[in-house]
Amino acid sequence: MTSTTHPAIHTTGLTKHYDDVPALVDLDLEVRRGEVFGFLGPNGAGKTTTIRTLLDLIRPTAGSASILGLDTRADAVEIRRHIGYLPSDLAMYPNLTGKDLLTYFANLRGGVDWGHVDALATRLKADLGKKVGDLSSGNRQKVGIIQAFMSRPDLVLMDEPSTGLDPLVQQEFQTMMREVADDGRSVFLSSHTLSEVQRVADRVGIIRQGRLVDVEGVHDLRSKAIRRVELVFDAPVTAEEFAGVAGVRDTQVRDNAIMLSFDGHMEELLAVATGRHHLVDINSEEADLEEIFLAYYREDAVDGESREEAMA
């Protein structure tokens, strides 16, 4: 039995080296009961390595971890009874239908509430009658998500699960994660998309080059959302006109347009943009994670690199 007094996940100094590649370094992390925890990092940051180590699919070089109070190595089998897991590359039998595949997984678990499975399939608009090999990657991913949620586990671990899902399905999927947390259970969601974890996570751990850079409440993270903004005018503008707006950086002017990175108040930017000019178009999108990391975590990254050099 697991007791609800233990955290969902607890790691101490968890470290994994692949030969001389430090994929994960000294991870101290706690994921609480009743939260969706986002594990955010760019490709190659160490997210998959962390999850695979927690599941005892690979062994740590150093450190230890527990899930629901159970040791990830000594109690790996018992842990399986309490968790749902969606790997980034769920190997599926292409000739089985979604239903057959879920039956297979359900039998491994000693049964499942099929009413719940059907409800999940309806919510995600999953077609369980088709052969898995004939499904698009997004529709295959739905079968994987159902598989991870279907036993109502105490902890759901998912490795970049939203890949290929269309926006409406993503929304339903996020509601499903929220419900798990509201039920006192936990979700560990790895992602390389800031906007995704912002929408659904309570707290976010930020990992870069194998190191946990920070753990933040999602509201603190929100203020770090840098946008790439393009403003198009009917006549040429200069970068200097925008230099005084708080939160503007990396301006590039091309003819009648200016491109900039921005994390200030949009109203202020638009006031300057429309004050002296005719604004004819505006494009705004989330900056990529690496840009956000460089803007906010440069010191930590440099620290990490110099630590590594000191160890070499």
We find the least distance from the C-beta atom of residue 272 to ligand ATP, in angstroms, to be 38
Helices (H) and strands (E) in the chain, counts: 11, 14
Q: How many CB atoms lie within 10 A of CB 133?
A: 12
Calculate the CA dihedral of residues 62, 68, 74, 80 and round it to 10 degrees: -110
In degrees, rounded to 5, the angle at the alpha carbon of residue 191 between the alpha carbons of residues 107 and 284 is 140
Query: In which residue are the tokens 């052969």 written?
Result: 131
Give me the residues paired with residue 262 across strands: 227, 248
Picking from 92, 105, 177, 171, the residue whose alpha carbon sits closest to that of residue 136 is 92
Nearer to ligand ATP, 185 or 211 (CB): 211
Nearer to ligand ATP, 20 or 267 (CB): 20
We find the least distance from the C-beta atom of residue 295 to ligand ATP, in angstroms, to be 20
Picking from 57, 62, 44, 51, the residue whose alpha carbon sits closest to that of residue 155 is 51
We find the least distance from the C-beta atom of residue 4 to ligand ATP, in angstroms, to be 29
**Rounded CA separation 214/68 (Å):** 23
We find the least distance from the C-beta atom of residue 221 to ligand ATP, in angstroms, to be 18
**Rounded CA separation 128/140 (Å):** 10
Nearer to ligand ATP, 191 or 198 (CB): 191
We find the least distance from the C-beta atom of residue 300 to ligand ATP, in angstroms, to be 17
Nearer to ligand ATP, 49 or 261 (CB): 49
We find the least distance from the C-beta atom of residue 291 to ligand ATP, in angstroms, to be 17
We find the least distance from the C-beta atom of residue 296 to ligand ATP, in angstroms, to be 18
Nearer to ligand ATP, 51 or 248 (CB): 51
**Rounded CA separation 43/290 (Å):** 10
Give me the residues paired with residue 281 across strands: 232
Nearer to ligand ATP, 140 or 192 (CB): 192
Nearer to ligand ATP, 23 or 150 (CB): 23
Q: Give the interface with ligand ATP as residue ranges (CB under 6 A).
A: 18, 21, 23, 41, 43-49, 192
